[in-house]
Amino acid sequence: MGVANLSYTLFEKYLEDTVQIGFLRMNDDGFEVTEKGKDFLEKYMSFSNRYSKLESELRSVLSERDVLKSMCQPAKNGKVKVVCGRKRRK
């Protein structure tokens, strides 16, 4: 409870939920993780790793997009103006 920063009430609720779902079961020593619980944890770890990699890749792609967008901004000196596809000096 302390490590997860949970109140006793929330801990009880989550414990009850995980037992009801079938991730945990009671035994003589307390609780143990079921096969369903182990399978869920393995799948979650795989998902979490893939998600983190995709999130990182997305940040990289968005950064590249921002660079491309900034390259499409008009020149700051404003001396060249394009009219009907031709350049005209001011």
Q: What pLDDT, on a 0 to 100 scale, did the predictor assign at position 64?
A: 96
Q: What pLDDT, on a 0 to 100 scale, did the predictor assign at position 65?
A: 95
Predicted structure pTM score: 0.65
Question: How far apart, in Å, are the Cα atoms of 43 and each of 11, 22, 26, 40, 46?
Answer: 23, 15, 23, 5, 5
d(CA 79, CA 84): 16
* 34 in Cβ contact with 24 (< 8 Å): yes
User: pLDDT per residue over 51-69, tens digit each?
Assistant: 999 999 999 999 999 999 9
Q: What pLDDT, on a 0 to 100 scale, did the predictor assign at position 4?
A: 84
d(CA 61, CA 84): 33
Q: What pLDDT, on a 0 to 100 scale, did the predictor assign at position 1?
A: 75
Residue spans of the chain under pLDDT 50: none
